Structure 1
Amino acid sequence: MTERLEADEAERNGCRILLVDDDPGLLRLISLRLESNGYLVDTAESGEAALGRVAAQAPDAVITDLRMEGMDGMALFRQLRERDPALPVVILTAHGTIPDAVAATREGAFGFLTKPFDSAELLETIAEATGRNRAGAGRSASWRESIVTRSHAMETLLSELEMVAESDASVLLIGESGTGKEVIARAIHDASPRRNGPFVAINCASVPAELLESELFGYRKGAFTGADSDRDGLFVTAAGGTLLLDEIGDMPAAFQAKLLRALQEKRVRPVGAAEEVATDVRVVSATHRDLERAIRDGDFREDLFYRLNVVQFDVPALRDRPEDIVPLAEHFLADIQKDRLKADRIQGFSRDALRVLLGHDWPGNVRQLANVVEQACVLCRKGPVPANLVQRALRRDPTGVQPLAEARDAFERDYLVRIMRMAGGNVSEAARLAGRNRTEFYRLLGRHQLEPGDFKD
């Protein structure tokens, strides 16, 4: 009896997973693995049937085979993304089709698993997709709490970053403006033995060339007009911690030799001082520029490049990790609600708004996304943020009109789902509401592979 109660509790607390595969044996095997871990599992043997199950049951995640007769996994994923951009979809693939699965993740699929699947990897992937392990991950890896991601590219970067953080090696972050390089730099600091020391950042492009030396190295009283007292530079301020040299590619050529010497000797000479001061900092650099090209053009010192580039991380652009767009937008919305006490008025994004967000290229990356979310929220009075406010923030017209046949099918399926929900799964009542005879209504349900039993309480 106790075991039955525990199983019931697991089912009540479990997430609902939809499995889609035309291999009944594999469906049974994966179902057993997930059900034994407390998940509620629905199955479908075709992509068409899966669309009906999703409409009726609203799963928390979908696992679909890539190669199926009729509607394949990619076509199913694209239709699911169109209907619910936030629904995590995991692609199940044979080794020969891994490149196709990788392409799917670039379009926004949550991830992929290879056949034959590994049970531990399956459970870990579904836990990540449904958010089961996020609270635990936050407690055991506090260094990455500020990084919101579902992207395999970012997860790979973070796993490598954690290993590198244990050393004092200089790190160079390469990536477009707005990709979050400073957030990554802070994560390196928080994952390192220097985490209890200061984290100090300076944008080298924003400081005039004549002031950069005094900002970084400090100065002594009387060194120049206005130097009324001694002042430590950032190399001293960040002692015991991490110093981020952001936009290092824009550092004036005249100062690069002085920076190289400071990094080599681990000592700096404040402006106007007779003696050098020892430094103890871990240097992380970041830039959106192609430094190797800058070296060829004579704008950046090759020896400084090698001193800074002990370990290099390429931070992916937001368009290369579209699966992060929705969780990032929701994260920014939550922050805005917290700051402005609008939590009782704004409830997430409408599906159309999510489609607009997913359809944008984001040349300004994460910074642009944060700005668009804030603009849309300022004008939103209540309810989900609508698509027109997102479009207004993006300053563009709506795009992406569906072909007529797809739009008609989508409308018919949604209409049938609403009618069946109203009728509680009673086909005779649903047919009466739709103004059709029972036989014709059954034919419509069959066309869209909707099962009446899925709509009963």
Structure 2
Amino acid sequence: MSIATVLIVDDEPDILELLEITLSRMGLKTHSTCNYQETLAVLQQQTFDLCLTDMRLPDGSGLDIIEYVQQHHSTMPIAMITAYGCIETATKALKAGAFDYITKPVDINRLRELVSSALKLSTNHVKHDVPVENALLGNSTLMQRLRMQIAKLARSQAPVYISGESGTGKELVARQIHQLGSRNEQPFIPVNCGAIPSELMESEFFGHKKGSFSGATDNKIGLFQAAHGGTLFLDEVADLPLNMQVKLLRALQEKTIRPVGCQQEQAVDVRVLSATHKDLNKEVAAGRFRQDLFYRLNVIELNVPALRERPEDIALLSQVFLQRLNQDNNHVELTPEALAKLQSFHFPGNVRELENLLERAYTLCEGNVIDSHDLNLTNVGITPAAIASEQPSPSTGPINNLEHHLETIERKIIVQALEETRWNRTAAAERLGLSLRSLRYRLKKLSID
């Protein structure tokens, strides 16, 4: 197997020597240049497995080298070396296409981790196939573009903010970025920020030391330690309280965490992906989300399209969902009329709503055919009369968040059915016209205990 070669660009002899010695001890070949013009001349003649470039050069900028590499050597990862505390510079490098960055003074362990991770981007090391159950389904132009963006982002360590409505598959997108990247052999840790009690949040994220507070009977590792070397996915990040936002920002900037009750900080190597169905720009404007944390998380934004924007994918999605439901040699299919009805629906709950709707229709349909009359497109498990009865009076003003309003109605009706059946889930499911599995899903989604 050929030895990997790394191009080092820096005009400081001490830094050059440190990098050359460190990489040589890792069994790598190195080639060094000290300015922009010399680097371009070398890149026109040779290919490398990795490039490490300083930000400030005598005749140019490291950003210029990143731009050249993106245009002429797009498969070669490039990492930026920048001064300590220059987060804005590092962010520019990541937006321009840099794989990652490292600050001066150079931490040798951090350098080794960065180089090892970057070299895994070779096609000989990274698996480019995604398990079928984790695949993003759809052949529409929007989905093809999304998959191309995911493949590109997988070659970077930049924080990615995944935006999109509820039910579009934001966690699935995050899993694919992880799966296609150099961290795919390390953990992928998803966490719903809105599901963690505020008083336990610091301990959950950073861990704690035994005896650090009442009830801390053992040492506990946090989510950052659990995701070390891999990816941490912060879902519904807009639900983080402001005091936790400050601590998260420091962890992201310093790449260190301090467990509750510990005096020493611990270095962590984690790629952070985040998502929320809320508009973070509006949350920042309202003072509910820190602007500096928003900029740190939103280095690159990736939008997941709503299902109504790609109705041509509904046939494929329906086919796959029904294949999962078809058991015991059942072969339930959609009639053309039913498919047409689905393709004309707005789907405020997106792909998740389509899956739930087909699950209900599969359970209630007669024979092996789902016809248009088997599809309740008002809201799965909730009657039109129930929704109408819960509409706000004119004095309450317009509905600003339809999804939240529908979830509120759904929660009220489900709780009422459970109370009337003395919390017998089977009886409540029958009363609501749901399968038991569908009711369980809703109980979990709506956090009804």
Per the normalisation by structure 1, the TM-score is 0.54
Partners of 2:224 and 2:232 within 8 A in 1? yes
Question: Paired residue for 1:320?
Answer: 309
Q: Distance in 1 between matches of 2:309 and 2:243?
A: 36
Aligned amino acid, residue 130 of structure 2: S
Q: 1:335-371 CA distances to partner (integer Å, 9 max, x unpaired)?
A: 122xxx24x2333211121122112110011111111
Within the alignment, does 1:196 sit opposite 2:181 as a pair?
A: no
Query: Does the 8 A contact of 2:205 with 2:222 survive in 1?
Result: yes
Kindly provide the amino acid, as one letter, of the partner of residue 346 in structure 2: D
Aligned to 2:331: 346
Equivalent in the alignment of 1:126:
none
Structure-1 residue corresponding to 2:363: 378
Kindly report which structure 2 residues correspond to 1:35-434, keeping only aligned pairs within 5 A, or say none.
Answer: 141-142=129-130, 146-337=135-326, 341-342=327-328, 344-391=329-376, 394=380
Unaligned 5+ residue runs, structure 2? 1-126, 385-449
- Structure 2 distance, partners of 1:348, 1:245, is 37
| 1:167-223 Cα shifts (integer Å, max 9, x gaps) | 111000011111100000000000100011111100111111111111111111112
Runs of 4+ in 1 over 2 A off after TM superposition: 139-145, 344-347, 391-397
Matched with 1:56 is: none
Output the CA distance in 2 between the equivalents of 1:217 and 1:381.
52
CA distance in 1, matches of 2:307, 2:161: 19
SS in 2 for 1:201: strand
Change (3 A) 1:334 1:287: same
Distance in structure 2 (CA, Å) of the matches to 1:157 and 1:178: 16
Answer whether contact 1:219 1:271 (CA < 8 A) is retained: yes
Asked if 1 retains the 8 angstrom alpha-carbon contact of 2:357 and 2:375, the reply is: yes
Moved more, 208-217 or 193-202: 208-217
Shift of the 212–351 alpha-carbon distance from structure 1 to 2, 3 Å rule, reads same
**Offset of residue 143 of structure 1:** 6.3
- Structure 1 residue identity aligned to 2:135: S
Give the secondary-structure state (helix, strand or coil) at the position aligned to 1:219. Answer: coil
In structure 1, runs of 5+ residues without a counterpart are: 1-138, 398-457
The 8 Å contact of residues 162 and 170 in structure 2, kept in 1 or not, is answered as yes
Deviations 1:226-271 (A, max 9, x none): 2110010010001111100001111111111100000011111111
What whole-Å deviation, never above 9, does each CA across 1:61-88 have from its counterpart, x for those lacking one?
xxxxxxxxxxxxxxxxxxxxxxxxxxxx
Deviations along 1:318-343, whole A, 9 cap, x unmatched? 11111121211111111122xxx24x
Partners of 1:289 and 1:275 in 2: how far apart? 36
Q: Is the 8 A contact 2:322 2:332 kept in 1?
A: no
Shift of 1:396: 7.2
Instruction: Write the distance in 2 (CA, Å) between the matches of 1:306 and 1:143.
Output: 32
Give the partner amino acid of 2:361. A
Equivalent position amino acid for 2:240 in 1: M
The Cα shift of 1:381 comes to: 4.7
TM value normalised by structure 2: 0.54
- Are the counterparts in 1 of residues 255 and 268 from structure 2 also a CA contact under 8 Å? yes
Task: Give 3-state SS (helix, strand or coil) of 2:195's partner.
Answer: coil
Q: Considering only CA atoms, is the larger Rg found in Structure 1 or Structure 2?
A: 1
**For residues 202 and 363 of structure 2, what CA distance do their matches in structure 1 show?**
41
Say what the alpha-carbon RMSD is for the aligned residues: 1.8
Which structure has the highest helix share of the two? 1
Structure 1 window deviating more from structure 2 (363-372 vs 381-390): it is: 381-390
Structure 2 residue identity aligned to 1:364: G
Distance 1:317 1:274 in 2: 46
CA distance in 2, matches of 1:385, 1:206: 36
- How far the C-alpha of 1:141 sits from its partner, in A, is 3.4
Please report how far the alpha carbon of residue 391 of structure 1 lies from its aligned counterpart in structure 2 after TM superposition: 2.6
In structure 1, C-alpha distance between the alignment counterparts of 2:383 and 2:139, rounded to whole Å: 27
% identical equivalent positions? 45
- The letter for the 2-side match of 1:142 is V
Structure 1 residues 185 and 278 mapped into 2: Cα distance closer, same or farther (>3 Å)?
A: same
The structure whose RCO (Cα within 8 Å, separation 6+) is larger is 1
| Preserved CA contact (<8 Å) 2:357 2:376 | no
Partner Cα distance (1:140, 1:255) in 2: 36
Matching residue of 1:429: none
Distance 2:260 2:365 in 1: 52
SS at match of 2:369: strand
Partner SS for 2:275: strand
In structure 2, distance between residues paired with 1:224 and 1:329: 50
The aligned residue for residue 441 of structure 2 is: none
Write the distance in 2 (CA, Å) between the matches of 1:383 and 1:176.
33
Structure 2 distance, partners of 1:332, 1:257, is 41
Once residues 347 and 190 of structure 1 are traced to their aligned partners in structure 2, the CA distance between those partners, rounded to angstroms, is: 32
Alignment match, 1:3: none
Q: Counterparts of 2:183 and 2:365 in 1: how far apart (Å)? A: 43
